[in-house]
């Protein structure tokens, strides 16, 4: 039982490059979330999903796209990376409304 | 939209002493959930404690307890008998039951534990 797994853990990109972050959970959770963490700003929600095949925008969605083709996976894509997207990205999942979110270990992305 | 405010960017406490971290939130909802998460240098987000808004009784978890004041929209965390391993960034978070049940975080409080 691995919980929430994010890949890759680290990545360096050049401005304009694209990449995809993969989040996988083995807990059969319905809800999945992508957050970014920047110094002094806590965690801010990028996109989220309330079930397979569904996605919705969060607080800071610009420049990102997501897909949830399978219940256990939630992908975060950057089509044309910008230096402002340098951050630590966290994926999280939850079984239901009343439960806590379980987080992955984070992925550090640097855009040069 | 809900907002969460942690007014103490940094706090320090002596080992074995007690410290209280403050959190306030703004919402028009009557039903929701509140959490404290801990983030040590390893970057892992660890759940410390959870509180349901419909429960008047304050949640406790070993050395961790909360003071939940619903009318005042306040949710403080008390750490008793502080240990060196408690040193971390602490985040207060609000979870709505609507809008995808999103979790909104405060800015965090960096806790230092002095030996």
C-alpha to C-alpha distances, A12 to A43, A65, A72, B61, B77, nearest whole angstrom: 21, 19, 26, 40, 37
First-to-last C-alpha distance (Å) of chain A: 36
Tell whether A22 is within 8 A of chain B (Cβ): no
Return the number of CB contacts < 8 Å for A and B: 51
Average pLDDT, chain B: 94
- Say if residues A95 and A9 touch (Cβ distance below 8 Å): no
Determine, for residues A50 and B101 on separate chains, whether the beta-carbon distance falls below 8 Å.
yes
Mutate to test the interface with B, among A101, A104, A106 (most CBs of B within 10 A): A101
Is the confidence at residue A98, as pLDDT, over 80?
no
Kindly write down the DSSP assignment for every residue of B8-59, as one continuous string.
-SEEEEETTS-EEE--EEE-S-SSEEEEEEEE-TT---EEEEEEETT--SPP
Determine, for residues B44 and A42 on separate chains, whether the beta-carbon distance falls below 8 Å.
no
Q: With contacts defined as CB-CB under 8 Å, which chain B residues touch A103?
A: 44-45
Average pLDDT, chain A: 94
d(CA A93, CA A27): 9
Tell whether A2 is within 8 A of chain B (Cβ): no
Q: Model confidence over B34-80: pLDDT tens digits?
A: 999 999 999 999 999 999 999 989 999 999 999 999 999 999 999 99
Q: Model confidence over A4-28: pLDDT tens digits?
A: 999 999 999 999 999 999 999 999 9
Q: Which phi and psi angles does B29 have, rounded to 5°?
A: -85, 155
Give CA A66 to chain center in angstroms: 8
Of the pLDDT bands very low, low, confident and very high (cuts 50, 70, 90), residue B4 is very high
pLDDT given for residue A2 in this prediction: 76
Least Cα distance to A98 among B96, B30, B89 occurs for B96
pLDDT given for residue B64 in this prediction: 98
Q: Model confidence over A35-69: pLDDT tens digits?
A: 999 987 789 999 999 999 999 999 999 999 999 99
Is the confidence at residue A75, as pLDDT, over 90?
yes
Is the confidence at residue A1, as pLDDT, over 70?
no
pLDDT given for residue B98 in this prediction: 81
Determine, for residues A42 and B105 on separate chains, whether the beta-carbon distance falls below 8 Å.
yes
B101/chain A closest Cα distance in angstroms: 6
C-alpha to C-alpha distances, B32 to A55, B53, B107, nearest whole angstrom: 22, 5, 19
Q: With contacts defined as CB-CB under 8 Å, which chain A residues touch B51?
A: none
Q: What percent of chain B has pLDDT over 90?
A: 87
Q: With contacts defined as CB-CB under 8 Å, which chain A residues touch B107?
A: 40-42
Q: With contacts defined as CB-CB under 8 Å, which chain B residues touch A50?
A: 100-101
Tell whether A63 is within 8 A of chain B (Cβ): no
């Amino acid at each position: 039982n691995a919980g929430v797994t994010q890949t890759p853990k680290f990545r360096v990109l050049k401005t304009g490059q694209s990449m995809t972050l993969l989040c996988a959970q083995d807990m059969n959770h319905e809800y999945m979330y992508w957050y970014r963490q920047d110094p002094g700003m806590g965690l801010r929600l990028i996109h989220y999903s309330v079930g397979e095949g569904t996605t919705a925008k969060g607080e800071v969605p610009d420049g990102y796209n997501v897909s949830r083709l399978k219940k256990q996976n939630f992908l975060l894509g950057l089509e044309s990376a910008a230096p402002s997207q340098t951050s630590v990205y966290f994926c999280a999942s939850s079984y239901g409304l009343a439960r806590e979110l379980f987080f992955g270990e984070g992925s550090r992305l640097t855009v040069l | 939209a809900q907002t969460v405010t942690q007014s103490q960017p940094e706090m320090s406490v002596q080992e074995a002493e007690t410290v209280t971290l403050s959190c306030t939130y703004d919402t028009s909802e009557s039903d929701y959930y509140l959490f404290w998460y801990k983030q040590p240098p390893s970057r892992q987000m660890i759940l410390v404690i959870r509180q349901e808004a419909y429960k008047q009784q304050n949640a406790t978890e070993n050395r961790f307890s909360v003071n939940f004041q619903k009318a005042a929209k306040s949710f403080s965390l008390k750490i008793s008998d502080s240990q060196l391993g408690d040193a971390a960034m602490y985040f207060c978070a609000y979870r709505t039951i609507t809008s995808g049940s999103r979790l909104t975080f405060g800015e965090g409080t960096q806790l230092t534990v002095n030996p």
